[in-house]
Amino acid sequence: MVPALTASAAPSAAFAAPLPTTTKSPLLLSTLGSMDPAPTRVDLRNFTLATWHAVQAKRALQQDGAANSKAGSAAPLVDGATLSVGDVVAVSRYAATPELDNSPEVRRRVQASIDVLDRMLKSGESVYGVATGFGGSADTRTTQFAALQISLVSGLQIGILPVPGHVDASGALPLSDEPLSQPEAWVRGAMVVRLNSLVRGHSGVRFVVLETMHKMLKYNITPVVPLRSSISASGDLSPLSYIAGAMAGMPGVYVWVDGPDGRRMKMSSPEALAKFHIEPLSYEPKEGLGLVNGTAYSAAVGALVMHESNMLALLTQLTTALAVEADLASDGSFAAFIHNEARPHPGQIEAGATVLAMLRGSKLATHVENEVHADDDGVLRQDRYPLRCSPQWMGPLLEDLLAASRSITIELNSTTDNPLCDARTGHIAHQGNFMASAVTSAMEKTRLALALLGKMTFQQMTELINPAMNRGLPANLAATDVSLDYFGKSCDIAMAAVTSELQYLASPVSTHVQAAEMGNQAINSMALVSARYTVKAIETFSQLLSWTLYLLCQAVDLRAMQRQTGELVRVQLKDSLASFFGKWLDEAEQALLAKRVFARISRRFDETGALVLQSRMHESYLQGADELSTYFAELPSSAGNGEVLRTIMAWRKHSVAEMCERHHALTAEFLADANGTPATPYLAPTTGVMYTYVRQTLGVPLAGREHFAGFKGAAGQLGENNGAQVSKIYRAIRSGELYTVLVDIASTLPQHA
């Protein structure tokens, strides 16, 4: 709620507050929980909405620093029980080398599963995938155990990849630039997840196999794996077969390695193993099946997805806080009474408390204790839904993200191949843990959450760009002439495009299951496909948030300009009223009248954001002139009224010209400093950190310099376009650099869970 804007009430919110003094808030506990690394055990009872984001992000960022410095944070431990999302991110994206638990206890349990299998085979029992065929062909029998494993691994290598050494002689340009192979990060993630599953000692796979996989991670040997061909039914069979094939040195499997110049180069797996002195594996009974049968790929990509999605959800809460400031909206919508007492859904509580904490100290947001309700005719009494209802909108989505994160964490520390060796009972369990439906469900929840967060964000920005809704900002957030500068319009159109795409991507994959493999895999999870499309959703939502941050930084700069314009109007009124009306009014009367005139001017200025500056000032000072006319008409004596009216008209003409000139000079000052942060004194300390990061670290300036110069002279020469500036923000999000800033912001917020 903004203060009332009438002649007898507070002036316009746009001009209202004088330039504030900068204050520092005390360093507070993190709103997202402890920033220490995750506990040594994955204890799901301690997982809360408030702790997930920061713990996992901090762990990944610590590993990022360790990978870059070759020292620092302890390596992720692969022990079958404690692998976290942050660990997977560190190994996958930042080349952290995990530590394989080599303790006697781990070696004993791995060997125990092999002993169970050996006893079964020696007794002549038929074990699926060891002495039988696979899937719908499990009615066949063989004693060629080793050959069967080679047949399985090589036979599953059916994916489509670029033909080695092939040059297209047709000269045709490609129709698409989507690669046929998976990103290396996905492959490394699958390797560490599969390693963590095998070390649990349920799979009948020798420890030397685990050590070989660990060496490949250590030396950054990454198999080239096809993007498609998995239905995630009996696990991610085909993708995992390329990892198994590389470990065995199969010549048709290629890998990425570090070249002599530091760039990645592709070579055959036998060459790579020889280069790093790794002995190719010869698989013993069940080892091929133990490597290819499982959900490691789906779980790994799912972990990468959850890390990104949780950070984007936190970023959305921050952009919502910035939008509250940019729109001069009320923090009353986030009050604890509404969420903690009246409707205490945990996600709603977190969203409300986080945004409220981020707004603490803001000079732009209307704080509930300072709201003015008297004489507010014509003023929107409450904020519109995209801001006022944001905690209720985001809350269930945060709960879904938490549920998805918990499912993925369980999956990372599970055994998902078939059959399993139970060393405690000596039995072989034939079952379906490879069915990755838990991952599918997590991905569907996450994609829908991203789409809904994106929808809310888009509507917040359309409100901000629209001069009929943004409480006094110029149309299209133009820093200069609104008849020439359409800055926000192109952003609005682009955001509409990606919001539509994001909503399309929210469609479920799980409803498109096809029966496969002789009818044996009549139901299948499609988890990896779902995770792939969730990655697309993350990229799309990241673009939406990039435009959002660009618009928000522009908007708060314009708010700063408005506040300073308001101060100029105050000074101009004081001087001009004394100059033009001093012979009729004493100083006390001038001061009283200046408040009334200022209220009328500022309110009209709020209402005319679609007009060019000259017309906007004319309309605003016309209201001021009307207030002067009313004042003088109410005086007891009517003597000299004709002279008064002529003086009012002269005052208005003079004031419009003077304020247009002063506003022009102020605009020039704002645009001249490309890395300036004029909005900092008005912003909350938390939102100000992100604003400063965008302006100074990323070097994204206030837009409009070329328009202001009329595209003439040195200042008017076209430089980097708006797309190039937004791309800087997008790169910072996708690289994870912006997340470091986000986690630092989170560490300054009060703990509320």
Token pair belonging to 619: 């309309």
Token pair belonging to 218: 């250590």
Q: Are strands 254-258 and 264-268 parallel, antiparallel or unpaired?
A: antiparallel
Whole-number Å distance between alpha carbons of 372 and 8? 12
- 328 sits in the region (left: phi over 0; alpha: psi -120 to 50; else beta) called left
Residue 101: DSSP 8-state: -
Residue 222, SS3 per DSSP: strand
Is 219 designated active site?
no
3-state helix, strand and coil shares in percent for the chain, rounded to the nearest 5:
55, 5, 40
Cα Rg of the chain, angstroms? 32
pLDDT reported for residue 559 = 97
Whole-number Å distance between alpha carbons of 56 and 84? 7
> CA nearest 305: which of 505, 399, 439?
439
Whole-number Å distance between alpha carbons of 181 and 245? 16
Q: Report the C-alpha dihedral over residues 115, 119, 125, 131, rounded to 10 degrees.
A: 50
pLDDT averaged over 10-residue windows placed end to end, the chain, 753 residues: 31 48 28 30 42 48 44 78 93 94 96 94 87 84 89 93 76 85 97 98 97 98 95 89 97 96 95 98 94 96 96 96 97 94 93 95 89 63 91 96 95 95 93 92 97 98 95 94 92 97 96 84 87 98 98 97 96 96 92 95 94 95 94 72 90 96 95 91 97 97 89 77 96 94 87 48
Residue 647, SS3 per DSSP: helix
Asked whether 304 and 185 are in contact (CB, 8 A), the reply is yes
Residue 337: DSSP 8-state: I
> CA nearest 43: which of 55, 31, 54, 35?
55
Q: Tokens 């942060």 — which residue? A: 677
Token pair belonging to 679: 């909005």
Asked whether 379 and 344 are in contact (CB, 8 A), the reply is no
Whole-number Å distance between alpha carbons of 424 and 442? 32
Whole-number Å distance between alpha carbons of 733 and 711? 32
Q: Report the C-alpha dihedral over residues 330, 334, 338, 341, rounded to 10 degrees.
A: -150
* Bridge partners of residue 402, in order along the sequence: none
pLDDT reported for residue 715 = 66
Residues with Cβ within 8 Å of residue 568, at least 6 apart in sequence:
659, 662, 663, 666
Whole-number Å distance between alpha carbons of 171 and 337? 67
Whole-number Å distance between alpha carbons of 587 and 635? 16
Instruction: Tell me the CA distances in angstroms from 117 to 97, 209, 288, 422, one per residue in order.
Output: 31, 16, 14, 9
Asked whether 456 and 394 are in contact (CB, 8 A), the reply is yes
* Bridge partners of residue 223, in order along the sequence: 255
> CA nearest 682: which of 567, 547, 561?
561
Asked whether 41 and 82 are in contact (CB, 8 A), the reply is yes
Whole-number Å distance between alpha carbons of 195 and 213? 7
pLDDT tens digits, one per residue of 293-333: 999 999 999 999 999 999 999 999 999 999 999 999 999 99
Whole-number Å distance between alpha carbons of 554 and 729? 14
What number of CA atoms fall less than 13 Å from residue 367's CA on the CB side? 14
pLDDT reported for residue 708 = 87
What number of CA atoms fall less than 13 Å from residue 297's CA on the CB side? 36
Whole-number Å distance between alpha carbons of 704 and 738? 25
Q: CA angle at residue 445 from 315 to 395, to 5 degrees? A: 50
Alpha helices in 219-295 (DSSP H): 237-247, 269-275, 287-292
pLDDT reported for residue 331 = 95
Token pair belonging to 653: 């003409």
Alpha helices in 73-183 (DSSP H): 85-93, 104-122, 145-155
* 626 CB neighbour count, 10 Å cutoff: 16
Instruction: Tell me the CA distances in angstroms from 497 to 15, 462, 547, one per residue in order.
Output: 35, 13, 12
Asked whether 329 and 364 are in contact (CB, 8 A), the reply is no
Residue tagged active-site, from 128, 219, 385, 486: 128
pLDDT reported for residue 375 = 59
Amino acid making up residue 284 = E
Ordered domains of the chain (ranges, CATH): 103-160+180-294 (1.10.275.10), 304-411+439-558 (1.20.200.10), 680-735 (no CATH)
Whole-number Å distance between alpha carbons of 529 and 510? 9
* 128 CB neighbour count, 10 Å cutoff: 16
Whole-number Å distance between alpha carbons of 419 and 192? 21
Residues with Cβ within 8 Å of residue 69, at least 6 apart in sequence:
none
What number of CA atoms fall less than 13 Å from residue 404's CA on the CB side? 33
Asked whether 379 and 9 are in contact (CB, 8 A), the reply is no
* Bridge partners of residue 40, in order along the sequence: none
Whole-number Å distance between alpha carbons of 250 and 153? 10
* Bridge partners of residue 265, in order along the sequence: 257
Query: For residue 507, what is the enclosing H or E element?
Result: none
DSSP string, 365-421: SBPGGG---TT-TTS-SS--HHHHTHHHHHHHHHHHHHHHHHHHHHHHTS---SSEE
DSSP string, 8-66: TS---TTT-SPPPPP--PPP---TT---SPPPSS--GGG--HHHHHHHHHHHHHHHHHH
Q: CA angle at residue 37 from 35 to 43, to 5 degrees? A: 105
